[in-house]
Amino acid sequence: MRRNSSGMRYRTRYRTRYGTLLLLLAGSILAVFYISLTNGSFDIPVKDIVLTLLRIHPAADYDLILFEFRLPRIAAAAIVGFGLGIAGTVIQGVTCNPLADPGILGINAGAGAAVVFFMFLTQGQTDAGDLFGALAMPVFGWAGGLGAAVFIYFFARKNGVLDTQQLILAGLAAGSGLGAATLFVSLKMNPQDYEMAAVWLAGSIWNSSWTYILSILPWLLVLTPIVIHKARLLDLYQLGENTAKGLGVKVEREKNLLLLCSIGIIGACVSVSGNIGFIGLLAPHIAKRLTGSRHSQILPLAGLIGALLVMAADAIAKQVFAPVELPVGIVIAIIGIPYFIYLLYSTQKRR
* Integer Cα distance of 319 and 325 in angstroms: 8
Residues 295, 296, 298, 304, CA torsion sign = positive
Ramachandran class of 245: left when φ > 0, alpha when ψ lies in -120 to 50, beta otherwise: alpha
Write the CA distances from 102 to 85, 178, 189, integer angstroms: 10, 14, 27
Pick the CATH number of 42-350 from 2.60.40.1180, 2.60.40.10, 1.20.1730.10, 1.10.3470.10: 1.10.3470.10
Q: What angle do CA 160, 163, 169 make, to 5 degrees?
A: 130
Tell me what pLDDT residue 69 has: 86
Query: In this structure, are residues 293 and 228 in contact, taking their beta carbons and an 8 Å threshold?
Result: no
Report the sign of the C-alpha dihedral through residues 118, 123, 124, 127, in that order: negative
For the chain, the domains span: 42-350
Cα–Cα distance for residue pair 307/104, rounded to 1 Å: 20
The backbone torsions φ and ψ at residue 157, rounded to the nearest 5 degrees and listed phi first, read: -80, 135
CA 307 to chain CA mean position, Å = 8
Query: Tens-digit pLDDT profile for the chain (351 aa)?
Result: 455 566 566 567 777 888 899 999 999 999 999 999 888 777 888 888 888 888 777 677 788 888 888 899 999 999 999 999 999 999 988 888 887 888 877 888 888 888 888 888 876 555 545 666 667 778 888 888 888 888 887 887 777 666 767 777 888 888 888 888 888 888 888 877 777 777 777 788 877 888 888 888 989 999 999 999 999 988 888 887 778 888 788 887 888 889 889 988 988 888 888 888 889 889 999 999 888 888 999 999 999 999 999 999 999 888 877 777 788 888 888 888 887 777 767 766 655
Give the pLDDT confidence score for residue 193 in this predicted structure: 75
Question: Residue 157's beta-bridge partner residues?
Answer: 162
CA separation, residue 164 to residues 18, 97, 195, 250 (Å): 31, 6, 37, 20
